[in-house]
Amino acid sequence: MALLSFIAICLLPLVFGLTVGNVSEIRVPAIYAFGDSLFDVGNNNYLELAKQDTANFPHNGIDFPNRIPTGRFSNGYIGIDFIAKIFGFKMSPPPYLSIRHANQVLKGVNFASGGSGILDTTGNGTITFSTQIRYFEKVTRMLSQHMEQKSAETSLSQSLFVISTVSNDLFAFFALTGATNATLNHNFISSLVDDFVNHLKSLYKLGARKFWISGVGQIGCIPYLMSRNPSGGCFDDLNHLAQSYGEAAKRRLRHLSLRLVGMKYSYSDSYAMTAAIKANPHALGLTEIIGACCGDGKYNGEFQCLPKVTYCSNRDNYFFWDWFHPTEAVYKLTAILAYNGTFSTPINIKQLVLITGASTSLSDK
């Protein structure tokens, strides 16, 4: 813990040396986002889902401009918004299901759907990763209609592809098995990484070259699960499963990048990042790292953040906004660390987007 506290203190220059207000001089043509509720900016609003799988109602969005619940699982902006702001965009690109005109896709699209995962069986009724990729394929055709094919390929090769997924797959597996059998865990993780790599290959074939992958955090410590643990603590078996996935994914990404010409990536170790933040939260402005700001019951994690429940006034001091998701303050913090910090391998986002000369040839696919 002493080492983690030291690391947390060392984070301060990175966090406060680059604020989202200090827009980077680096630019990307577009940002394409894939994944789950950590990146969803409103796609689930257009689906027939249970209320707990959406966020288009108060108190969500209470700190968003005009206090609007947009479908973001947050009190305000989320991580993809802050990444986009760093590159000079107003916020995340629009949700795919909101698009009505082809010119809306020129600066990027957000395909993420809360509740989805790597597996098509995860998140019943949400937009699966496979479907998100099919939607992206339609977007590539729209781009080709607006510019020459070669220009479209060049734009895609220099664009940033951001992905946040796998948490819901791990939740489902843990609920089914308890994650106590080492052999079963290993086989599941290996299969899951195989599927994830296949998704990346599909995106690569469609022109993606630069990937930022947000790893999985300490999901065994979310308020929802801790409120249901008789010990009141984290579910360590689920955290170990998350760590195992992260290590396996990093190994496979190294191998994949050597095989796919022009592929570059940054993998943010969200688990290590979260551990460092929680080791010395006060130094980073956080005073509550266990309970949720909005909700009810133990740790405010037994019930969802709905209009009838209460919420805290000091939201910037909380790690968790609701029973599953971080506050806007933590989204901002982790976005800055992913862009400019040391928790990413082999490079951070800033270094990733500075790479030039990525292959755009269809023959490389």
The dihedral over CA atoms of 179, 167, 253, 245, expressed in degrees to the nearest 10, equals -20
pLDDT attached to residue 363: 41
Asked if residue 43 is part of any domain, the answer here is yes
Cα–Cα dist 266/180, whole Å: 31
Asked if residue 360 is part of any domain, the answer here is no
Asked if residue 316 is part of any domain, the answer here is yes
pLDDT attached to residue 266: 98
Catalytic, out of 37, 113, 167, 244: 37
Is residue 244 annotated as part of the catalytic site, yes or no? no
| Residue 27 burial class via C-beta count within 10 angstroms: exposed 0-12, middle 13-18, buried 19 and up | exposed
pLDDT attached to residue 51: 87
Angle between helices 167-177 and 182-205 in degrees, nearest 10: 160
Q: How many CB atoms lie within 10 A of CB 326?
A: 27
Catalytic, out of 159, 167, 269, 325: 325
pLDDT attached to residue 19: 54
| Tokens 């795919």, located at residue | 96
State the DSSP code for 93. Answer: P
Which ranges of 206-362 does DSSP label H, i.e. alpha helix? 223-226, 236-259, 270-279, 328-340, 349-354
The dihedral over CA atoms of 248, 244, 280, 85, expressed in degrees to the nearest 10, equals 40
Phi and psi torsions of 31, nearest 5°: -125, 130
Contact 219, 274 (CB under 8 A): no
Asked if residue 243 is part of any domain, the answer here is yes
Catalytic, out of 36, 269, 296, 322: 322
Tally of domains within the chain = 1
Asked if residue 361 is part of any domain, the answer here is no
Nearest to 63 by CA among 349, 344, 326: 326
Cα–Cα dist 185/357, whole Å: 40
Is residue 363 annotated as part of the catalytic site, yes or no? no
Contact 336, 344 (CB under 8 A): no
Q: What is the bridge-based pairing of β-strands 31-35 and 294-295?
A: unpaired
Chunked into runs of 10 residues, the chain (365 residues) has average pLDDT values of 52 52 77 98 96 94 97 98 96 97 94 98 97 98 91 96 98 97 98 98 98 98 97 96 98 98 98 95 96 98 96 98 98 96 96 78 45
- Its pTM stands at 0.93
Is residue 37 annotated as part of the catalytic site, yes or no? yes
Asked if residue 363 is part of any domain, the answer here is no
CATH number of the structural domain spanning residue 267: 3.40.50.1110
Asked if residue 185 is part of any domain, the answer here is yes
pLDDT attached to residue 3: 55
DSSP reduced 3-state for 162: strand
Domain span holding position 88? 2-355
Contact 189, 241 (CB under 8 A): yes
Asked if residue 201 is part of any domain, the answer here is yes
Q: Angle at the Cα of 18 (from 87 to 161), degrees rounded to 5?
A: 35
Cα–Cα dist 174/222, whole Å: 14
Cα–Cα dist 245/271, whole Å: 11
